[in-house]
Structure 1
Amino acid sequence: MGCNWRSRKHLDIGTGTGLIALMLAQRSNAQIHAVEIDEQSAQQAKDNVVNSRWSNRVEIHHASFQDFAKQSARQYDLIVSNPPYFIKSYKSPEVARTVARHNELLPHNELLKGINAVLTPNGRFAGIFPYTEGNVFVAKASTYGLYCTTRVNVHGKEQGEVKRLLLEFERKPKPLTQESISIRNLNGDFTAEYIMLTKDFYLAF
C-alpha cells in the first residue's frame, strides 16, 4: 500500500504486542504512538519496545481507542489498524485472548469516529480487513467523510479467493488505485512479490 512513511506522527490502533508499531518504526523516522486495550498485551508491547532499537520513538498507551481519541491533543498523519474481526461470530470461552478479535469493544462506528478526531486534514488511515467486512467498512467510512483511495486484494494462494483487503482512506475522494497480491503460489511456496514486501521483517527471508 502507498503508506506515507515520511509522515511525522503515526498511530497504531490495537497494537497487541507492538509488532506493527515496531515495523512502522523500522520503516520511518516518525514518532509512533500505539494503543492497546488489553493490559497484558500492552505490557508486553512496552517490554518489546524497551528491548528494541526504536524505544526513543515508540510510545505504548494502555487504553481503549475511544478514550484515547477523546483525550488526545495530538493528530496523526498516518493511522494504521488491524481492526476486530468476526462481527457476528460466537464468543470464545477464553475472552481475554479473543476480545481483540471481536467487534463489541471497538465497533466500526466507534473506530471511524475516533479516526476522524485524530487524523490530520491530509492524513491517511490504512487497515487490514477480511473481504466481506472490508467492503462493509468502505461503505460506512464514506458516511464519516473517509474515502477509500487504495485497495489491495490479498489472495492466500494464486488463483484463489481474496482472503484479506488492505484498504487506505483519505478525507478527499480521488480515483481508486487497485492492486492484487498472492501470498503463496500454486506450489504452496511464498511468492516472490510477498517475499519482497516482507523480507525486512522476517529472518526466514
Structure 2
Amino acid sequence: MVDLLDDERLDYLLAEDLRIIQSPAVFAFSLDTVLLARFVYVPIQKGNLIDLCTGNGVIPLLLSTRSKAQIKGVEIQERIFNMAQRSVEYNKLSEQIELIHGDIKDMPEKLGHGKFDVVTCNPPYFPTPSDRESEMNNNEHLAIARHEIYCTLEDVVRVSSQLVKQGGKVAFVHRPGRLLDIVTLMRMYKLEPKRLQFVYPKVGKEANTLLIEGIKDGNPDLKILPPLYVYNEKGEYTKELHSILYGDK
C-alpha cells in the first residue's frame, strides 16, 4: 500500500512492472523523460548513476530496469521529492535507488567530483522571463520544472561535468532551439558530444526534441542517429516509438 495525497494517482510505468506516483497539479512525467531514460548508455552490472532534476523519479525507476548499478536522483522541490521517495519505496527499490532532496549545484561538494559513471538530466527548458507573473505558469511546481528558476542550462552542464568520471557519459534531453547552446556549453566543460538524435512529432514536421550524449574528455566524433518519429500518418505511435515505450510486447 501507498499513501496518496490530494489529486495523486498511482500509475503503471509503461511496460515495466513498476508503479509511479503522479499528480496533474504537481508533477507528471513526460515523453521526453522516458526517451532520455531509454537513450542513455548505462552499464548493466555495476556502477554509479545519477539523475539531476529527477522530478518524481521516473528516470531512476526506468534505469533500474536496465542496470543493476546504484542510482541517485536529485530533486529540489520537497513535494515532488516526496512523491519520488514514496514511489521508490512502493516498488521496493530503496537498496538500489537513493533520492536526495537538494539543489543540484550543491551536489559536487556533497557527493564528490568524478564519482559517477553516468549522469542524466531533463532540465528546465525555458529561461526565466523578465515578467515572471504574466509569462510563467501560476502553478509554482510546474513553473520551477519548466523554467530556469533554480538552475540554468550552464549550471546543469557544469554540475554534470563535475560529477561524472573521466570517460563517463552525460546525457540530456532538450529543445532543438538550444542545440548550439548545449554543444557550446558541453565543450566548455569538457563533455565531448558523441551521440545526437532528433525527435519529430511526425514525418514532415520540425523536430521538437533532441537527445544528446557526451563523454567527459572524449575525442571529437559526433554521430547523428536516425530520426525518431513519434506518430504515424494515422496519429498512432510509430512501431519504433511503441517499442521504446512498451517493449516488443
Common topology (TM > 0.5): yes
**1:159 Cα deviation from its structure 2 partner:** 2.5
| 1:87 paired to 2:127 | yes
TM-score by length of 1: 0.92
| 1:29 paired to 2:61 | no
Match of 1:4 in 2: 42
TM-score by length of 2: 0.76
From 78, 84, 87, the counterpart of 1:39: 78
Structural RMSD (CA) = 1.8
Aligned residues: 202
**1:23 Cα deviation from its structure 2 partner:** 0.2
> Given residue 106 of structure 2, which amino acid in structure 1 is its aligned partner?
D
Match of 2:241 in 1: 194
Gaps of 5+ in 1: none
Match of 2:101 in 1: 62
Residues 131-152 of structure 1: CA deviation (Å, up to 9, x unaligned): 1123321122111111111001
Identity of aligned residues (%): 23
> Given residue 17 of structure 1, which amino acid in structure 2 is its aligned partner?
N
Gaps of 5+ in 2: 1-38, 130-134
Match of 1:160 in 2: 205
As a proportion of its length, which structure holds more strand?
Answer: 1
> What secondary structure, in the 3-state scheme, does the structure 1 residue paired with 2:85 have?
helix
> What secondary structure, in the 3-state scheme, does the structure 1 residue paired with 2:123 have?
coil
> Given residue 196 of structure 2, which amino acid in structure 1 is its aligned partner?
R
| 1:177 paired to 2:223 | yes
Residues 29-49 of structure 1: CA deviation (Å, up to 9, x unaligned): 110000000000001100000
Greater shift in the superposed pair: 109-118 or 1-10 = 1-10
From 50, 67, 70, the counterpart of 2:89: 50
Q: How does 1:107-122 map to 2 (within 5 A)?
A: 107-122=152-167
Query: Matches of 1:9 and 1:23 in 2, distance apart?
Result: 15
Q: Which consecutive segments of 4 or more residues in structure 1 shift more than 4 A?
A: none
Q: How does 1:95-174 map to 2 (within 5 A)?
A: 95-171=140-216, 172-174=218-220
Query: Matches of 2:102 and 2:96 in 1, distance apart?
Result: 19
